[in-house]
Structure 1
Amino acid sequence: MSLVLDQAAQNLLFREARTANAFTDEPVSDEQIQAIYDLVKYAPTALNSQPLRVVLVRTPEARQRLVGTLAEGNKAKTAAAPLTAILAAAHDFHEKLDKTFPHAPNAKDRFAEEEARIRTGRFNGALQVGYFILGVRAAGLAAGPMGGFDADLLNKEFFGDGRASVLAVVNIGKPADNAWFDRNPRLDFDEVVTTV
């Protein structure tokens, strides 16, 4: 059975997409990032909660602060990337539910308990991280998502008010020559899927 997406789109988004580890110095514009966001904002989250918050790291000072929070293997490539996005989950996402989920005017009351709210925000924010990466690919750019960072330090540097917490750091740009590691194998259908 064929998929609805044509082969070129399947390849762009999935089969040929890999984590980029090196980029050209071609800038990534605010317009490109806005187009990415304007696409991926429509992807589903529970109660249309939309907890993802994005911090674009453009200034040398902010980049230096970010690089100081990263694992050693992520520092040089992030310092050289044309743009880096810090993707975080808002802890107060429920405050916007009156706007994003208007047919349930008391939806935010479901999240009075902080621990459950943060857990819900991080889960749905993680979904949005995946959508964001696909959006970067759909824009013809490469994404280099990373989890190698000191979360406590990064949160202190960029989310000191405690209203959000980091989920991922993503380098964005046009891939340079030799930007990719070799493709690693994937699990087969029968190794992953069971029917009950």
Structure 2
Amino acid sequence: MAAPLPPEALDQIFRTARTYNGYTDEPVGEDQLRAIWDLMKMGPTSANQLPARLVWCVSQDAKDRLAALASGSNDAKIRKAPVTVIIGMDQNFHEYLPELFPHTDAKSWFDGKDELRREHAMRNSSLQGAYLIIAARALGLDTGPMSGFDNAAVDAAFFADTPSVKSNFIATLGYGDPSTIFERLPRPPFERFNRIA
């Protein structure tokens, strides 16, 4: 059985970690992006579906194209961040199940069932997006997840060659600038939103 992580690790991943609106000028390298993927891909998804498809916007051109499709203050956040990642979801994830889940014919569970595939793609790519945030924090980076953007326009701009992939959410990535965060918002105690049945 694994031992609990030390308090310092739990602080870094959860308790003192924050969502950042801006970052320092310290760059983020491709090796770090690959390290995030190598951690997040290990997180569980239903039948190992792994429907997330990521576009790492590193060049200023890619960030500018994405920022033009964002709403409110998100455009400036995207332009200034070292990296912004689009977490997409492949609604044809089932085509890969013979490789990813070879124990049984899991592909047949989803053949011809578009709505079921959309539901599973959304759920499991959201899980993978959460793993991305945890992996980034574990590796010493900060994130700023957001949903304020035109999904259809982002799909057309970044997933036109893979029409089965749709955007779920996006997240900026870098070394957070503490001056860009607000006071921590409320986190209710267990009794507020939990019950043991």
TM range (shorter): over 0.9
Deviation at 1:103, TM superposition (A): 1.1
* Structural mapping, 1:66-105, within 5 Å: 66-104=66-104
Give the distance between the partners of 1:184 and 1:177, measured in 2 at CA: 15
* Structural mapping, 1:30-109, within 5 Å: 30-104=30-104, 106-109=105-108
SS at match of 1:13: helix
Give the distance between the partners of 2:82 and 2:60, measured in 1 at CA: 11
Deviation at 1:177, TM superposition (A): 4.0
How many residues of Structure 1 are paired with residues of Structure 2 in the alignment? 193
Deviation at 1:60, TM superposition (A): 2.4
Deviation at 1:41, TM superposition (A): 0.8
- Post-superposition Cα deviations, 1:142-178, rounded to whole Å, max 9, x if no partner, equal 0011111111111111122422111111100011241
> What letter matches 1:69 in structure 2?
L
- Post-superposition Cα deviations, 1:64-100, rounded to whole Å, max 9, x if no partner, equal 2101110121111110001110001111111111111
Structure 1 vs Structure 2 CA RMSD: 1.2
Structure 2: gaps of 5 or more residues: none
2:101 is the alignment partner of 1:110: no
Q: Normalising by structure 2, report the TM-score.
A: 0.94
The range that moved more, 134-143 or 3-12, is 3-12
The corresponding residue for 1:171 is: 172
What fraction of aligned residue pairs are identical, expressed as a percent? 36
Give the distance between the partners of 2:196 and 2:133, measured in 1 at CA: 30
The corresponding residue for 2:181 is: 180
Deviation at 1:51, TM superposition (A): 0.4
SS at match of 1:171: strand
Deviation at 1:61, TM superposition (A): 2.2
> What letter matches 1:107 in structure 2?
A
Give the distance between the partners of 1:69 and 1:163, measured in 2 at CA: 20
> What letter matches 1:108 in structure 2?
K
> What letter matches 2:97 in structure 1?
L
Deviation at 1:179, TM superposition (A): 2.8
Give the distance between the partners of 2:39 and 2:76, measured in 1 at CA: 30
Q: Normalising by structure 1, report the TM-score.
A: 0.94
SS at match of 1:72: coil
> What letter matches 1:173 in structure 2?
G
SS at match of 1:121: helix
The range that moved more, 110-119 or 134-143, is 110-119
